[in-house]
Chain A
């Protein structure tokens, strides 16, 4: 490995070697102290930092020895112009790749918004956002049934899913032995890995008949959707909450036990409040998953474009409506579907933003607490 490296490092031509070496020497003499005390944070010098230090080191070493060996000097000629250009171009290539993510998000928003934009004059933004009737035949497109549907589905699944997920996370981090966690953690991860279409299929063949027996009707509707959706979002919330709980220092638990608290008192009054923000974050991200969840919901909610009318009356959500009707849509209809997509995009973005702001707030607070402690 090292041999290969030095070999490739030998490349620079000798013509500018002496010239560069002298500049390097002067450089090294001037900046050796500052470099050693703290590495220059400037990026261009970062690539040079090891060079300069090494040359400096090699020079002093050579000064100690009687016959100066000439080879190391050429070997240490690291940053020739061509190398520097190569390094810089690679760095900008990487930046470009990283920028791809930004580009992706902007493109997604731009295209969905662009396709949805004609709403403003074909339907009217206000009519679209407040219209309660969606009828392809009549050409009226109001998004309210689906917005309400998505909110109902999300809210219900959070009511089912969050307690289950948080309790599981608490169990994993506070109660379970390491051996039990060896089974539980992979199980939760596997549950997260099950494709939504498989969960939806399971919902259709197993949960729908059960719900039909329990509450009557065909079994397609919000109640079935809630159960299916909470299965979908639970692993996300569990994993993230467990991370939050595990990051709570052991000391505060021990302090609680030392004061005679039971395990549950410690969990309820100390650990959960301390991890509150992480758990809220996890729930918000779970909420994002629930709103965006498509196939599983599509397969079990019944897909009728009507406003929520009870736990067994079929409804439809933004996601399911898009999948259902995109195939044969055209004109205004299509625009309206893209409008639903744009709403979904904005909701998911704002949820990510909320998490971000919450954690920033949290960081500020903890910094204050730390300052207070030291003061």
Chain B
């Protein structure tokens, strides 16, 4: 792999070095610079800097090419191998036998159920917390502590989150291995993401809108609830969608909180197996690789759709904002 990566970067360098320089010119990197370059080339010895420049820019092109290439390879590989598996039967039926045949319907429901529940738990808390940080809090020690806590929460390894959910929700609060326990764990994961997005969204609301509201005699809460939050809503929704995408792909948190037996969840205390756990088990057991490809494909499609819709919303919003 590393060998092929190297070859890739070399060929990219060669292919792109020419392009790089032409790019530099067309992007208008100052006529002055071009003159300097010509001047430099005319002098002996200074051509070296120019040579290094070309090589380095080629390396930059190569690195970016590798990055894009990795994404493309993963996407193409999963899509090519997975799309053939996807049939209505695969999506809407139960697995059969030792999961070697049949579909993945219960796992899809379990994934949507738990992440939906997690979102319902995390969203109000996270949004109100962000409102506090952005609108109410005096910038001081408390805010610093809260922000540090949110940062830490965001960086807690997901398996530690899973361990905690197991020890606290399942073993201490005696919630059975279920959608609810998984959702509680996932909501901890989503909390800092939504908080950060909401706080940024609220801070991006221009001040004069607030002043207008205060000027008409509105109280703080009236201003926040009817002026600030509605204005910030598109961005908040973008954050929610990204948090949702993160939670749908999450495996380690739900592994020891949701159960791993395939089951169709009806009430929140039903157990089940999420798509991500299903994919993991299929990949490790190796008895039904097509199902693994299909599950990976569906997971990727869900996450791509969520990411793209988040992008679309924020773009639409920025266009409205600009107009």
Q: Is the interface of B mostly helix, strand, loop or mixed?
A: helix
Q: Report the bound CA distance from A194 to B77 in whole Å.
A: 13
Residue of B56, B73, B311 contacting most chain A CB atoms (<10 Å) = B56
How many angstroms between the C-alpha atoms of A344 and B251 in the bound complex?
A: 17
Within 8 A of A (CB), among B194-248: 195, 213-222, 226, 242, 245-246, 248
Shortest CB–CB separation between residue B308 and chain A, in angstroms? 8
> Closest residue of chain A to B21, judged by CB?
A263
| Smallest beta-carbon distance B256→chain A, Å | 6
Do B156 and A105 touch across chains, with their CB atoms under 8 A apart? yes
Interface size for chain A: under 10, 10 to 19, 20 to 34, or 35 or more residues? Answer: 35 or more
Q: What's the nearest-Cβ distance from chain A to residue B272, in Å?
A: 16
Q: How far is the CA of A106 from the CA of B84 in the complex (A)?
A: 47
B86 interfacial by beta-carbon distance below 8 Å: no
B52 touches A295 (CB 8 A): no
Contacting residues, chain A, for B68 (C-beta < 8 A):
183-184, 187
Contact present for B131 and A94 (CB under 8 Å): yes
- Is the beta-carbon distance between A323 and B159 smaller than 8 angstroms? yes
What is the CA–CA distance of A49 and B215 in the complex, to the nearest angstrom?
10
Question: Which residues of the partner chain B approach A8 to less than 8 Å between Cβ atoms?
Answer: 222
Tell me which residues across on chain B come within 8 A of A190, comparing CB atoms: 71, 75, 304, 307
CB-CB under 8 A from A104, the residues of chain B are 149, 153, 188, 191
* B168 CB-CB contact with A under 8 Å: yes
Does A127 sit within 8 A of B, measured CB to CB?
no
Give the docked Cα–Cα distance between A168 and B59 (Å): 10
Query: Is B32 a contact partner of A264 (Cβ separation < 8 A)?
Result: no
Majority secondary structure, A binding face:
helix
Residues B250 and A91 in contact, CB atoms below 8 Å apart: no
- Asked if A326 and B166 sit within 8 Å, CB to CB, the answer is yes
| B163 is an interface residue with CB less than 8 A from chain A | yes
Chain B CB within 8 A of A30 CB: no
A29 contacts B by Cβ under 8 Å: no
The segment from B92-100, B102-110, B262-270, B277-285 found at the interface with A is B277-285
B77 near A202: Cβ-Cβ < 8 Å = yes
Q: Assess whether A102 is in contact with B145, with CB atoms less than 8 Å apart.
A: yes
Q: Contact at A111–B129, with CB atoms within 8 Å?
A: no
Contact of A98 among B27, B129, B213 (CB under 8 A): B129
Residue of A nearest to B279 (CB): A197
For window 250-305 of chain A, which residues contact chain B by CB distance below 8 Å?
257-258, 260, 262-265, 267-268, 285, 288-289, 291-295, 299
CB of B309 within 8 Å of the partner chain = no
Does any Cβ of A come within 8 Å of B50's Cβ?
yes
Known pairs A112-B163, A197-B280; list 19 more (Cβ under 8 Å).
A2-B216, A6-B217, A47-B219, A87-B219, A90-B221, A97-B124, A97-B132, A98-B130, A104-B149, A108-B153, A167-B64, A187-B67, A188-B67, A190-B307, A262-B50, A265-B53, A294-B157, A344-B160, A348-B155
Contacts A/B (CB < 8 Å), 6 sampled: A87-B221, A108-B153, A115-B167, A164-B67, A187-B67, A291-B157
